[in-house]
A = this chain, B = another copy of it.
């Protein structure tokens, strides 16, 4: 098994009845004249065919064997083909220039997630960039007016289950373009490069303002393959006697939200509802009330008795409920209540699908643009101060630009996200091309040290054209296209969730004398620190 042989002979048909239509070579066999063993194979640690039965740690340790599986071959070959089609579209059909940008760069302000690389100059470090953002903008200033790159990017986030410390993005920037221009470019790109064994991509993609995504789906990346939208039913309860609703509505931005789970009364069990309520209590510290609709007039819920007939009819109308549905209801501040309901919506979809209801067709690819994001968000640690919702180079929405100097928190941006089946697969924006505006945003609004970005500010001063761009996350996109359970299945040699290469055992120790040229030494943690850190990672082995 799995040895490499060189055979010469005559190709003949298989004897009648011995054909195997499942094998590509199932109709033929070879009448061997000579055979030579080129390399033998030792006893395998696992059967190549049993793709899914192995632990992932074992698969990663013997990645070179795992790559022989039909699934990994399909995933990696499709990835190569799709990227090639993207290149044809951009380079050959639309005049883009593939420019390689450096990965040994300087730390960006606040770049806490950037890997650092000691140089041979004492105390001086390079940094591996999280994206070629600055370089792509500088290329626009440099007159390379249509840039793209399949760019390796780096993010040091420690251990994350489905992130990789190095990842790849399709990185695009254009001069003299607006939001619509970038969006139709990307729609055409995906349509052109989409695998021929899938249904073709329909364009243009629908678009949804961020505020609507939040209100209807409780997230900035709605899965629009199914409904079950969040409905605001605050008005129904303005005069309610139910304590926690009354309480919530009396606060600023207090709301009552509901989702209707179609046939929920049929498919969801009592313990499902309990786990949903527990989730809401544990993660959001919120109450969730279920209403079981035996019929539209026969409600089984603790609040039922407080709902007037009129209100009941209103609820049925707003939520379009039918017999055997379940309505989940919560109350609280708008964003928070939406966010909770968004999570429950996905949770309920999982539960229904586990009971055999088909909600999300695996052959369906539902693209969506989410637009009109806020330009700034209050800082989590200090809500009086603002930080960029995406990055400080994002241009404000033209209709809101006057608010920048008076109420910056109200300014919408020209940022756009591309969402596929509830996953963010790309994001971009029109950038600020005016040096003064960029300086104002950095210095006055964000209170950043502008010195660290002086080269970019200076560049904008030398006739920078209006420009914008986007980056698509290639690993995530390929994961969705191939239906792989993890992005590690569309990467040839991924790191484990702890950032290890389980095959070669990277990262590894380096003797102190080899650190000398870089003028660094290891600060070994004390015993107490080690203990604390090993508590965070209770098992040393990942298998």
A115-B117 contact, Cβ under 8 Å, with A64-B459, A135-B492, A142-B68 = yes
Interface residues in A, total, Cβ within 8 A? 107
Does A103 contact B65, Cβ atoms closer than 8 Å?
Answer: no
Bitwise interface map of A from 111 to 130 toward B, beta carbon under 8 Å scored 1, else 0: 01001111111111111100
Interface residue? A228 (CB, 8 A): no
Q: Quickly give the copy total for this chain.
A: 2
**Which of A77, A152, A168, A492: most chain B CB closer than 10 A?**
A492
Q: Does A11 contact B (CB under 8 A)?
A: no
Spot the interface stretch: A91-99, A217-225, A357-365, A385-393.
Answer: A91-99
Collect the chain B residues with CB atoms within 8 Å of residue A97's CB. Answer: 76-77, 80
A410 within 8 A of B: no
- Distance from A246 Cβ to chain B, minimum over Cβ atoms (Å): 47
Of the 9-residue stretches A37-45, A204-212, A271-279, which lies at the interface with chain B?
A37-45
B142 touches A67 (CB 8 A): yes
**Among the listed B65, B77, B144, which residue makes an inter-chain contact with A67, where contact means beta carbons less than 8 Å apart?**
B144
Complex: how many Å from CA A107 to CA B504? 10
Contact partners of A158 in chain B: CB under 8 A: 120
Q: Whole-angstrom distance between the alpha carbons of A102 and B104 in the complex?
A: 15
Given A41-B462, A104-B165, A120-B158, also A80-B64 (CB < 8 A): no
Check if A491 is an interface residue, CB within 8 A of chain B.
yes
A473 to chain B: which residues have CB within 8 Å? Answer: none
Whether B152 contacts A522 by the Cβ 8 Å rule is: no
Interface locus among A26-34, A296-304, A399-407, A507-515 = A507-515
Q: Which of B38, B73, B463, B507 contacts A4 (CB 8 A)?
A: B463
Q: Do the beta carbons of B508 and A143 come within 8 Å of each other?
A: no
Q: Taking CB as reference atom, which chain B residue is nearest A99?
A: B492
Q: Given A115-B117, A116-B118, A128-B117, is A39 in contact with B501 using a C-beta cutoff of 8 Å?
A: no
A105 close to chain B: CB less than 8 A = yes
**A168 to chain B: which residues have CB within 8 Å?**
100
A164 vs chain B, min Cβ distance (A): 9
B139/A464 in contact, CB under 8 A: no
Cα(A433)–Cα(B40), bound, Å: 11
**B492 x A126 contact (CB < 8 A):** no
- Which residues of chain B are within 8 angstroms of A67 by Cβ–Cβ distance? 139, 142-144
Interface residues of A in 296-341 (CB under 8 A from B): none
| A66 partner residues in chain B, CB cutoff 8 A | 142
Please indicate the chain B residues that have their CB under 8 angstroms from the CB of A77 in the complex. Answer: 97
Q: Residue A519 at the B interface, CB < 8 A?
A: yes
In the bound complex, do residue B98 and residue A493 qualify as a contact, i.e. CB atoms below 8 Å apart? Answer: no
Chain B residues with CB under 8 A of A105? 501, 504, 506
Known A-B contacts A73-B143, A433-B39, A523-B520; the reply to A101 vs B492 at CB < 8 A is yes
Cβ of A127: which chain B residues have Cβ within 8 Å of it?
506
Shortest C-beta distance, A513 to chain B (Å), equals: 11
Contact (Cβ within 8 A) B507 A106: yes
- Starting from the known contacts A106-B505, A135-B492, 7 additional A-B residue pairs (CB-CB under 8 Å) come to A39-B433, A63-B138, A64-B138, A102-B493, A106-B504, A520-B520, A520-B521
Kindly list the 5 A-B residue pairs having the minimum CB-CB distance in the complex, ordered from nearest: A67-B142, A41-B463, A106-B506, A124-B507, A64-B141
Identify the A interface with B (CB < 8 A).
2-4, 38-42, 44, 62-68, 72-73, 76-77, 79-81, 83-84, 87, 91-92, 97-107, 112, 115-128, 134-135, 138-139, 141-144, 152, 154, 156, 158, 165-166, 168, 433-434, 455, 459-466, 491-495, 499, 501, 503-510, 514-516, 518-525, 530
